[in-house]
Amino acid sequence: MATVERRLKVTEEAGLHARPAAAFAQAAAGVAAEVTVARADAASQEAHVPARSVLSVLTLNIRYGDEIVLRATGDDAESALEALARIAAPA
């Protein structure tokens, strides 16, 4: 299985706090791919947390304007990252 990675700038006004973090985790839980997220300024393997865990996402303290790295492994990895990007960085 291939691993796909995507960097993006968070444009959600609230960052990934409270409701957006819950929507983010719920979307990650709805896909088959294993998805992780990390702040781009600390994107080492150890800095990635499970995107399915709202508490883990909240611990990253991701705010508006921060750059993040999404990593997904699985058959629907591309579509998983696209769905999460729509939450973190709505157009």
* Catalytic hit among 4, 8, 17, 50: 17
Amino acid 58 reads L
Measured between alpha carbons, how far is 88 from 62 in angstroms, rounded to an integer? 10
What residues does 50 pair with on adjacent strands? 36
**Does residue 17 carry a catalytic annotation?**
yes
CA distances from 67 to 30, 37, 89 (A): 23, 11, 10
Estimate the share of the chain in helix, then strand, then coil, as percent rounded to the nearest 5. Answer: 40, 25, 35
* Residues designated as active site: 17
